[in-house]
Amino acid sequence: MRVKIVSAGLFSIMLALVAGGCSSGGDETLDLGESGSTVVVAKGGNSPHFDPDVIKVPVGREVTFTFKNEDTVAHNFIVSYIGVEVEAQPGQSVPVTLTAPDKGTLNFYDSKFQGEGMAGKIEVE
């Protein structure tokens, strides 16, 4: 019986780590329907990415957040479907305002680094 308890405990720890305890850059979610952080960051280095790379927004409501470039080269934030495109120079922060017209998923990306994985999604609820 004691072995089962230890096994269940280890399983719970492993499940917690897989579910979110071991996150790497760019795999968190920003929920713009709630209060809290309002910054999407462009990060460079060996694997350029957005942090977070998932943004949740309410359908039909205008939301504004800050796009901050922490890299040493210019980055842009583009959501083609709704005509959003901003660029931030190294160290610069710029506001992004958007309204998602329909429920579903929109893609955002950096046109210069999309091929290296610098992309994400907007979940419209």
Q: What is the dihedral of CA 95, 98, 103, 107, to 10 degrees?
A: -60
Over the chain, what is the mean pLDDT? Answer: 80
First-residue to last-residue Cα distance in the chain: 45
DSSP element (H, E) containing 37: none
- Per-residue pLDDT averaged across 47-56, rounded? 94
pLDDT per position as a tens digit, 58-77:
999 999 999 999 999 999 99
Please give the pLDDT value at position 32. 76
Q: Return the pLDDT at 38.
A: 77
pLDDT score of 16 more than 90: no
